[in-house]
Amino acid sequence: MSVFKSVINHITGAFKVPKPYNWGYPLFFGSLGMGFSFLLLKLMFSGAFQFSSTSLIGCAVSVIVIVMFAFVVPSVLIAEKSGVCITGHYTGIGALILSFLSGAPVYLLKSSLHNIISTQWLRAGGSIVFPAVFYHVEGVSGQLLALEILIDTVIPAFGFSLFFLGAVWQGFSEKNRKWAFFFIPLFFAAFSFDFLDIIAILIIGWWLCMVRNHTGNIYGPILTLLGARITGILIDNVVSEVDLTTIRVYSDIPTTIYFSAVPAIVVAVILFAFFRKTLGEFHFTYSADIYGDSKKLEEGEGEKAESVLAGFNLTFLLGVLIIMAFWILLMKGVRL
C-alpha cells in the first residue's frame, strides 16, 4: 500500500512546478493547450461557426485560440508559479533593429526551401499536406493586408516567442544553454504542424534561438518574424512562395522557381553569417557595459536545473505523445 501511495505521490508531484525549473515541464501544458484548442475549434467549425476554417476570419479565430491556450496561458501561469522571467530584458534599440532586418534571410530561406521541397515532394508522388492552420485569400491589400499580417505573423510570433523562447528557454541553465539551440528548434517545428516546411522551420527555430540569445529578450525574435513577413511583401515579385492551394500535380509548379530559389538560399546564408556576427558584437558590447567582465544572473530568473537531463520527465513524455497524436491526425488528413 505504501508503494502504491508513493507512486501516486510521485505522479501527482510531476505536474507541480518543478524546483529547480526545467525545460521539459512547459511542453506538457503547451501540448495540453493544443489539444484543448483543437477540440474547441473542431466543435466550432462543425456547425456552430458560420465561417470556414480556411477563410481569413476562420483562420484568425484558429490562430487566436491556439496561441492563447497553447502558448500564452501556459507561459504566464508557469512564469507566475516558478518565478522565472520569460520575456527577458531590454538590451537596446540597435539589437532590435538588427533582429528585424535579419528577417530578410529568414524569408529568403523559408520561401526557397518551401518551393524546392514542395516541388520534389510532388515529383516523388506525394500528395499535398496542408498545415494545420492556413487560409486562402486572393487580391489582398490595404486594411486586409494589415489584418493578414496580424493574424499570420504578429500573433503567432508573440505566442511562439513567449512559449518557446520564454518559458522553455528559461528551463535551460546558462551552462546548458547550448542544448536550447538543439531542442527548441525541434519543439518549434513539432508545434508548427507544417510538414512541407519542417526543414525550413527547424533552421528558423535555430536562428530565433540565436536572436534570443544575443538580444536577451523575446522581442528580438518577434521582430525577426515580422521582418520576414515584410520582406515577403516587398520582394514577392522576385522570390515568392508557391501557393499550395493552387497546385494539384507536379506539373502545375513552374520550373523557373529554381532560378530564384537557389541564389536566394546562397544570399540567405551570407546574410545569416553577417547578422550573427553583428548581433554577437552588440551582445558582447552590452554585456561588457552592464556587467563588466563577470556575468550576472538576471534578477527574477529563478532556480534552474543544472542537468539538461532533468527536462526528460513524465510531463515531457506525455507532451510528446500528445503532439505525436496530432501529427498522425494531420498526416491522415484530419482537419479543423
DSSP conformation class of 102: T
Tell me how far apart the alpha carbons of residues 214 and 86 are, in angstroms, rounded to a whole number: 15
Q: What are the pLDDT tens digits along the chain (336 aa)?
A: 565 555 455 455 567 888 889 999 999 999 999 999 999 999 888 876 788 888 889 999 999 999 999 999 999 999 998 888 999 988 889 999 999 999 999 999 999 999 999 999 988 988 888 999 988 777 666 778 889 999 999 999 999 999 999 999 999 988 899 999 999 999 999 999 999 999 999 999 999 999 999 999 999 999 999 999 999 999 988 898 988 888 877 788 887 787 889 999 999 999 999 999 999 888 777 766 665 554 544 444 567 878 899 999 999 999 999 999 999 999 988 876
Phi first, then psi: give them for residue 96, nearest 5 degrees.
-70, -40
CB 121 within 8 A of CB 331: no
Q: Strand ranges (DSSP E) for 219-323? A: none
Provide the pLDDT for residue 3.
Answer: 55
Provide the pLDDT for residue 304.
Answer: 82
Tell me how far apart the alpha carbons of residues 137 and 23 are, in angstroms, rounded to a whole number: 38
The end-to-end CA distance of the chain, in Å, is 45
**Domains of the chain by residue range:** 20-130+142-331
